[in-house]
Chain A
């Protein structure tokens, strides 16, 4: 696989992570990101994933994965067990967002959160002019079969962090296969944040 084949959000996360770091990927899916991090950054990773088929792919990649639900908590992990805890495209799918985020901030020295921006102009357009729940590149699901339970914007997340005194170290905004810097709450499809307590 060539660098250009790595998805843009994985590339962004790859750049945020220091070499040889320890990483916990919450909702690691088929383990693509953990695999890239191990190869490119020498990261020692663990993943938690709820989907059985995805676990098979992870084991085939030789990854340390735990088949389970991140909503049930990370009680067995001590504080600051990992350099990074990653919640890429998974925070909006958990039931207890605050609990999962707090656990992640406790267990990891730093947390990387990536989610689809609900306030992207295409979503706004579809709601405003068509009066329909948005279906876009970053939010590709129809309302009746979406795994997403929570809908938030880049501004929502930043406001939440401000209230909860979570420090955002870096923000990366992604559009359709490119970085976005101008007015991200309108033009970013995905927001990725490096944060800590």
Chain B
């Protein structure tokens, strides 16, 4: 046991402090100028001398800047801690990892819950609509402020994968490789539909009050329902059956419609927990940005990928029905048509969309090797003698 603990400590990053970067204003894709903007971010590992080992990790809808290590407050373990650390897929002995909270978020970066310096009140619904492209532009400012001219890789799952594609298309000269995971170049009607129901749940909560609820009761019920719908789509039929079956809660209260099935209790628990850390307005803004995202703005994807030198690794998961593998295949096929150097793997997982957070061994194998090839290059000293 002591040995095990030592092993855990050896490849853990320990306590990580979230940092903040503020800049005056950002030109949004809507042409509106918005500012000031603060991004919460964390870094892991050391930037090397020629600043060539920086990897930007991009989080999903409900993620935050705290991707790895243990948070200063509350001792929370980062959302991708299994993949980021010494000897892990994103080996902090080799690479310098950066993760920031998205613009429009509510975990330290400027978003609807931030105080508007001009009014002294939270922005609420007066916060401008932001796009995935705006989110990426803000990240670009952060990267520049850290003195990084070129990223070794940009990587992320789900909405993180959309940011990866946006980086690749907008700033191909700044990325040497890209790893979009369980994502899509644009949302399908089904994906938009789930987000729409989530948004409607928030808007239907009387406490939402036109987005102005920061000094009263927030729309917790609506946000919790949105999160519950989300969680259904993150799992799979099999993973739910394995986790809950038709088991009932041990001590169901005797009311008619308490969540007596374990799956119901789980969803409620997830929903109730989510409202403690997430802002309903941020949920509206970010899901809208996802729905509006189109990596190629209506054009065929391969057209906007042409001439890009970055190497691409696309990963999908078999049981993911929210971001089905066919969407990842569209990305890889466009890469191939555009002549990019690209690889695709569909991991045989039963976890559904959540797999990108859970299939650690498979992802580690793929990512570690891929990054190594990008970082060190193909070994040209032929170990074949002919």
Contacts and interface: CB of A to CB of B under 8 A. Distances in A.
Interface of A: 1-3, 6, 36, 38-40, 46, 52, 55-56, 58-60, 62-68, 76-78
A60 B369 contact: yes
A52 B345 contact: yes
Contact of B346 (A39, A59, A67, A77): A67
20 contacts: A1-B384, A1-B385, A3-B386, A36-B384, A39-B382, A39-B384, A56-B345, A59-B345, A59-B366, A60-B369, A62-B369, A63-B343, A64-B336, A65-B345, A66-B336, A66-B343, A68-B344, A76-B333, A76-B336, A77-B337
Contacts of B332: 66
B370 A40 contact: no
A67 B346 CA distance: 6
B19 interface: no
Interface of B: 313, 329, 332-333, 336-337, 341-348, 362, 365-366, 369-370, 373, 378, 382-386
Contacts of A64: 336, 341-343
B344 A66 contact: yes
A62 B333 contact: no
4 smallest beta-carbon distances between A and B, as pairs: A62-B373, A60-B369, A76-B333, A67-B345
Given A52-B348, A56-B345, A62 B383 contact: no
A39 B384 CA distance: 8
Contacts of B346: 52, 67-68
Given A58-B343, A62-B373, 10 more contacts: A36-B384, A39-B382, A59-B313, A59-B370, A64-B341, A64-B342, A65-B343, A68-B344, A76-B337, A77-B336
Contacts of A46: 336
A86 to B, nearest CB: 16
A76 B382 CA distance: 33
B378 A62 contact: yes
Nearest to A22: B339
Nearest to B346: A67
A59 B216 CA distance: 53
Contacts of A55: 343, 345
Nearest to A60: B369
A2 B384 contact: yes
Contact of B385 (A2, A60, A67): A2
A52 B343 CA distance: 12
Contacts of B337: 76-78
A76 B331 CA distance: 12
Contacts of B336: 46, 64, 66, 76-77
Contact of B384 (A3, A60, A65, A66): A3
A65 B332 CA distance: 10
A52 B384 contact: no
A10 B6 CA distance: 47
A40 B384 contact: yes
Given A2-B384, A2-B385, A60-B369, A68 B329 contact: yes
Contacts of A39: 382, 384
A167 to B, nearest CB: 28
Residue of A52, A55, A62, A63 most packed against chain B (CB within 10 A): A62
A190 to B, nearest CB: 22
Centre residue among A36, A46, A58, A60 by max chain B CB count within 10 A: A60
A59 B378 CA distance: 12
Contacts of A3: 384-386
B152 to A, nearest CB: 15
